[in-house]
Copies of this chain bind each other. A is one copy, B any other.
Amino acid sequence: MMEDNFIRLMKAQQKSPADEVINKIKELIESGELKPGDRLPAERKLASDFGFGRTHIREALQKLEFYGIVKTLPQSGTILNGLDINSLNGLLSDVLNLQSYDFYSLVETRCILEMNAIRLCAERRTEEDIEAMEKSHQNFIKFHNDEILRVSYDFAFHRNIAEGSHNPVIKSMLMTIIPDILIIYNKERVCNTDPFVVIKEHAEMINAVKMQNGELASSLLYQHVQGVMTLARTKLENLKVKSLSMA
C-alpha cells in the first residue's frame, strides 16, 4: 500500500499529455498571444503547433471547460473566458497543480458540506423531504442487522439530507466525494458504530429538521460523523485517494 502511494506520487509528477497542452495554452496567455475573450486556435492547429494529437487537445480543452476557463461552441470554436490575465494564470496554475487528496481532507469536506446541507434542509425542507428521510430511517431500523443494507440506508438517509438542502451545487459536490468515502469505508471495514446509536442519531436529526432547527440539526450531524472523522484522523490519515479531476 505504501508502494502504491509512491508509484502514484511519481505518476503525478509526470504530467499527462493534456496537462502539457494546458501548460502550453498558459504560455500563450502569458506571452500575450492569447487574450481574455479571444477564440483559441482551432483544435487541429493546436495539435499541429503543440505536437500532440487532437485527442489530447480535446481532453485538455474539456478539462479547461469543466473549470470554466474556456467555453467550447460546436463548429464555432473555443473561447477563452474574459477574466483578467492574473486571474486566468492563477486558475491555470491551480488546474495544473491539482493534487491527489488524502482521505482526511475528503471526510473533512464532507462534514462541512453535510453540516450545512442539513442546516439548509431544516430551513427549506418539504413534506416530501421529511417523508423520504423517515423512509430511509425506517429501512435502516428494519435492516439494522444486515451490515450491507444498513450502510445502504444510511447512505440513502444522507442523500435525503442533500436533496432537502435544495441546493444543487452542494448536492453535486457531495456526489463527487461520497462514493469514494463509502468505498474506502467498506474496504477498510473498520467502522463498527452500534446501529442503535445510529438509529437514535438519525431520529434526532429528523426531529430537528421537522422542528426547522438548523443549528441543532447541524450540530447533531457533526456528532454523527465524528466516528468517520476520528477514523480518518487516526487510522487512515495518509491514505491517498485520487485526483479530484477528470485527468
Which residues of A come within 8 Å of B, CB atoms? 62, 66-69, 81-87, 90-91, 94-95, 98-102, 105-106, 108-109, 112-113, 116, 120, 148-149, 151-153, 155-156, 159, 167-173, 175-180, 182-183, 186-187, 244-246
Contact = CB atoms under 8 A, between A and B. Distances in A.
B94 A171 contact: yes
Task: Count identical subunits in the complex.
Answer: 2
A144 to B, nearest CB: 15
A105 B105 CA distance: 23
B175 A86 contact: no
Scoring A81, A169, A178, A183 by chain B CB atoms within 10 A of each residue's CB, the highest score goes to A169
A84 B171 contact: no
Contact of A180 (B68, B153, B171): B68
A232 B145 CA distance: 47
A44 B3 CA distance: 34
A210 to B, nearest CB: 23
A155 B99 contact: no
A153 B151 CA distance: 45
A151 B84 CA distance: 9
Given A173-B173, A175-B67, A179-B69, A90 B156 contact: yes
